[in-house]
Structure 1
């Protein structure tokens, strides 16, 4: 019979995967939200270069 890992290793691994997926989802959501909010600013030509 193959040797099995302790239960707390599996729990930590599952917790790590869930935290990693949530972190990626939140970063994607924040970047998407900021991009949609800045569309009006990018459309107007308010770039006044001094050089």
Structure 2
């Protein structure tokens, strides 16, 4: 029967893997979100017609 690692090692490894996955997801999606926000803000500014 193989030796088992202590539970805190498994928890640390699991947290490390989950943080890598979340960081990769954020790095992949943040440029798309920032460009879409800039496009939305640019469209809102162009649509405002002040008649003072």
Normalised by the shorter chain, which TM-score bucket?
0.5 to 0.7
Q: Structure 2 stretches of 5 or more lacking a match?
A: 40-52
How far 1:20 moved relative to its partner?
Answer: 0.3
Displacement over 4 Å in runs of 4+: 35-39
Structure 2 length normalisation: TM-score?
0.59
Q: Which structure carries more helix by proportion?
A: 2
1:3-51 deviation line (CA, Å, top 9, x unaligned)? 1100000000000000000000001011223455678xxxxxxxxxxxx
Q: CA RMSD in A?
A: 1.8
Structure 1 length normalisation: TM-score?
0.60
